[in-house]
């Protein structure tokens, strides 16, 4: 007691912690500009219709990455339950100490089989996969050529690396070739790009990127987070859809979107790259292994898709219908043929206001604005799922059209 009293007295004698008025002002500015991100609370499983606090009835979810509808699939839930019983909640360890179970090796093997690659390494997230890649395999003797609209995780991963950084304009193949020529003195040149760009929903021209890489003796790395389980006749991703299967050196992707929606990421590709990542990638070496129930659920997701790609057909049909309905109504959409449908509004406050109005009408979407997207490029990013019925898609389109007319977005 005496020691506790002395400690309390010492603490009371200390000056107050410094104030951070710039942070208070940053939040105030975000609220005034309509860019403040409030988190809505869901009290149900992730599915086509969800329960959201503040809504009297379930609302249609049009903003999840649940592309195949696997988030609440009974076979994934059962696989997770079984692993919980047989392999426990977690491992309290990184992989190289005592954090590798047979489940992890099985998942890495099925991902490699799915992608037609040599080997796979798992991470807690694809953000970690991107953060750990570049520093582990490149040095100041090398060069990275990165698309201007790459995901923040690629940008951050590149920043951690000492390789020369070169940015080419979005999907501009002439600019990419010019950068390849300019960097010809580098030991290794690595072209890094998203395959599907998450905010615009467009696809990188992978066939041309691979051609340029081979012409200039460079490597190719792609982030397939919004393509795995979405693109290609088998759902393999953009490598399949763009006819470059087996020609991309490094593929990073996620288990947190189409493939069950839990968490986890991976790098799959060349054996030499994966071998070095196991030895040097810091997020792999210093992060706990993925929990066994999540690993088992992800493995089941790959098994389901490889056995029956029918959800892909539904997903593509839903995306085409939703896009056509909004285009016919006069909305400005970013062009594309993926499950991401960006509805361009250009004004941050308007995007937030329209998203709130849509929620009142039973459609859950989010307005995106700076710094998530460029200034003046505010939008609502709608995302379609195989879990949506045709009636769901038409309802969502009807509510978009009704809200757009009320707010003067369309006539």
Known catalytic residues?
Answer: 198, 226, 257
The DSSP-derived string for 270-313 is: -HHHHHHHHHH-HHHHSSPPPPHHHHHHHHHHHHHHHH--HHHH
Q: Is 234 exposed, middle or buried (0-12, 13-18, 19+ CB in 10 A)?
A: middle
User: What CA–CA distance (Å, rounded) separates 356 from 359?
Assistant: 5
Map tokens 């799915």 to a residue: 114
Contact between 357 and 406 under an 8 Å Cβ cutoff? The reply is yes
Q: Are 157 and 133 in contact (CB under 8 A)?
A: yes
Instruction: Calculate the alpha carbon distances from 145 to 31, 203, 311, 406 in Å.
Output: 36, 17, 35, 45
- Phi and psi at 164, nearest 5°, equal -65, 135
Nearest C-alpha neighbor of 156 from the set 131, 138, 176, 180: 131
Phi/psi for 277 (5° steps) reads -60, -40
Token pair, residue 74, equals 């009974």
Give kind and range of the element (H or E) at residue 59: strand 59-61
Both tokens assigned to 42: 């869901």
Which conformational region is residue 217 in: left (phi greater than 0), alpha (psi within -120 to 50 degrees), or beta? Answer: left
**Within 13 Å, how many C-alpha atoms sit on residue 384's CB side?**
33
CA–CA gap between residue 324 and residue 43 (Å, rounded):
32
Through-space distance between the first and last CA atoms of the chain, rounded to whole angstroms:
73
């Amino acid at each position: 007691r005496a020691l506790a009293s002395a400690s309390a007295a010492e603490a009371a004698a200390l000056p107050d912690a410094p104030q951070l008025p710039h942070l208070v002002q940053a939040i105030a500015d975000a609220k005034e500009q309509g860019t403040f991100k409030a988190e809505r609370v869901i009290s149900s499983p992730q599915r086509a219709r969800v329960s959201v606090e503040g809504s009297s009835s379930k609302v249609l979810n049009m903003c999840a990455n649940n592309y195949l509808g696997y988030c609440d699939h009974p076979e994934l839930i059962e696989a997770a339950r079984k692993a919980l019983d047989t392999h426990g909640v977690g491992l309290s360890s990184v992989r190289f100490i005592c954090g590798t179970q047979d489940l992890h090796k099985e998942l890495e093997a099925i991902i490699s089989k799915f992608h037609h690659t040599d080997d796979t390494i798992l991470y807690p997230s694809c953000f970690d996969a991107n953060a750990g890649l570049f520093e582990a395999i490149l040095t100041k003797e090398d060069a990275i050529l990165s698309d201007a609209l790459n995901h923040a995780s690629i940008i951050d991963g590149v920043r951690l690396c000492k390789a020369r950084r070169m940015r080419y304009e979005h999907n501009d193949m002439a600019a990419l070739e010019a950068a390849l020529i300019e960097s010809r003195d580098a030991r290794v040149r690595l072209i890094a790009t998203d395959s599907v760009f998450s905010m615009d929903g467009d696809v990188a021209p992978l066939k041309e990127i691979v051609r340029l890489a081979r012409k200039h003796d460079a490597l190719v790395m792609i982030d397939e987070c919004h393509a795995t389980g979405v693109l290609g006749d088998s759902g393999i991703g953009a490598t399949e859809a763009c006819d470059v299967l087996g020609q991309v050196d490094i593929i990073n992707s996620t288990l947190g979107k189409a493939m069950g929606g839990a968490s986890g990421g991976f790098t799959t590709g060349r054996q030499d790259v994966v071998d070095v990542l196991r030895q040097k990638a810091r997020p792999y070496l210093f992060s706990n292994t993925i929990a066994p129930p999540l690993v088992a659920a992800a493995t089941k997701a790959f098994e389901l898709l490889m056995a029956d790609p029918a959800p892909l057909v539904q997903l593509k049909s839903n995306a085409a219908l939703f896009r056509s309905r909004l285009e016919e109504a006069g909305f400005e959409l970013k062009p594309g043929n993926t499950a991401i449908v960006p509805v361009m509004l250009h004004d941050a406050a308007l995007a937030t206001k329209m998203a709130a109005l849509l929620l009142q009408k039973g459609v859950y979407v989010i307005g995106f604005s700076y710094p998530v997207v460029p200034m003046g490029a505010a939008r609502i990013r709608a995302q379609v799922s195989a879990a949506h019925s045709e009636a769901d898609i038409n309802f969502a389109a009807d509510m978009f059209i009704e809200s757009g007319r009320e707010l003067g977005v369309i006539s």
